[in-house]
Amino acid sequence: MRATIREVAREAGVSPSTVSRALSMPEMVNPTTRERVLRAAQRLGYAPNRAARGLITGRTGNIGLIVPDLANPFFPSVVKGVQARAREADYAVFLADTDEDPTAEVGLIRVLGKQVDGLILCSPRAREEEIRDLCESTTLVMVNRRFGSVPSVVFDNVDGMRQAVAHLQALGHRRVAWVGGPRTSWSSRDRLRGLRAATAAAGMELVVAGHFPPHFEGGVAAADLIIASGVTSVIAYNDLMALGLLGRLRDRGVQVPEDMSVIGIDDIQMSTMSAPALTTVSLSKAQAGRAAVDLLISLLEQPEGVRNARRELPTQLLVRASTGVAQTN
């Protein structure tokens, strides 16, 4: 059995109230008493029961984290960041994986929402009106999606796309294809927006190949369309899809980067291991996780005081071996 506050009180010869104060508002008690209480607590290995504390304070000390698919290496990185930062701030993290199912997502938000002080939604799939509802009953922070005034952490996709296009242009490419992610993905739309702007500014032609599942297989599925479209370069919604492209292009005998330049987004670990290694727009995923936690905590501590509840993290093109000089035909 764990020690209770009453036992500590008896051990220290004071009342439970004093113990409570000595631990959570130390300046309110006489230094001598405080010392005695702390010693007693130490001796008994006392740690306050979080459920009991939460019952009266209304705060649980937990935050929830909802991701669409842990199997996509993008998310574990974010989770690691969230996790580490939360631990520093003495919060515990509830994790839920929705398996890319928007309905499950909404359900999970509802049930998890009651057990936590706040929620972090990673690349949420839910519809806008649902999010609007939800964010009234729960404090939430979105990662990788921006919507209304809901607090969010996103990457500077526009600049990322600009860098990618500039790189391709410098290599002499005139036509670039876009392999999109899920139709409902905000970041996919945002990236396409950035891409449109960048290609227009560069005077390049953009071919949009449509929407694909954000997996390796999605990239595989898109590859043949890309080949048929006659472009010399392609940018995929994420690295996993870009690797799928790479795989299928190899099978089809299309040389990368000689015949086709391929760029991904995310910079997952795997992208350094492929042959050729993948040129990619790198996102600092763990940092996004940490930023989301920081934002959430500041929101919790001063519900109305946070002026600008948005963070935009920089992106950085990493040139590896999957991009090269355009074929001159």
Out of 40, 79, 262, 292, which residue is the one contacting a copy of itself (CB under 8 A)? Answer: 79
Beta carbon nearer to a copy of itself, 96 or 309: 96
What DSSP character marks residue 277?
P
Out of 46, 75, 91, 216, which residue is the one contacting DNA (CB under 7 A)? Answer: 46
Write down the least CB distance from residue 302 to DNA, Å.
16
Out of 18, 187, 232, 274, which residue is the one contacting a copy of itself (CB under 8 A)? Answer: 274
What DSSP character marks residue 181?
-
Out of 94, 130, 320, 327, which residue is the one contacting a copy of itself (CB under 8 A)? Answer: 94
Rounded to an integer, what distance in angstroms lies between the CA atom of residue 242 and that of residue 1? 54
Write down the least CB distance from residue 14 to a copy of itself, Å.
23
- Contacts with 195 (C-beta within 8 Å, 6 or more apart), sequence order: 161, 164, 165, 176, 178, 206, 235
Out of 10, 11, 23, 325, which residue is the one contacting DNA (CB under 7 A)? Answer: 23
Element at 265 (helix H, strand E)? strand 261-266
According to the binding rule CB under 7 A, does residue 18 interact with DNA? yes
Report CA-CA distances (Å) from 229 to 124, 224, 232, 233, 272: 31, 9, 9, 10, 27
Sequence letter at residue 150: V
Decide if 148 contacts 118 (C-beta within 8 A). Answer: no
According to the binding rule CB under 8 A, does residue 283 interact with a copy of itself? no
| The Cα angle at residue 93 between residues 92 and 96, in degrees rounded to 5 | 155
According to the binding rule CB under 7 A, does residue 115 interact with DNA? no
Out of 42, 43, 55, 272, which residue is the one contacting DNA (CB under 7 A)? Answer: 55
How many positions of this chain bind a copy of itself (CB under 8 A)? 44
Phi first, then psi: what are they for 174, rounded to 5°? -115, -20
Q: Which of residues 56-95 bind DNA (CB under 7 A)?
A: 56-57
The edge-to-edge listing of strands for the beta sheet with 233-236 is 205-211, 175-180, 233-236, 261-266, 279-283, 315-318
Write down the least CB distance from residue 158 to a copy of itself, Å.
28
Residue with tokens 């939460």, as numbered in its chain: 54
Q: Which of residues 21-60 bind a copy of itself (CB under 8 A)?
A: 47, 49-52, 54-55, 60
Write down the least CB distance from residue 5 to DNA, Å.
3
Binding positions for a copy of itself, rule: CB under 8 A: 2, 47, 49-52, 54-55, 60, 62, 65, 70-71, 73, 75-77, 79-80, 83-84, 87, 92-97, 99, 111-112, 114-115, 216, 243-244, 247, 250, 269-270, 272-275
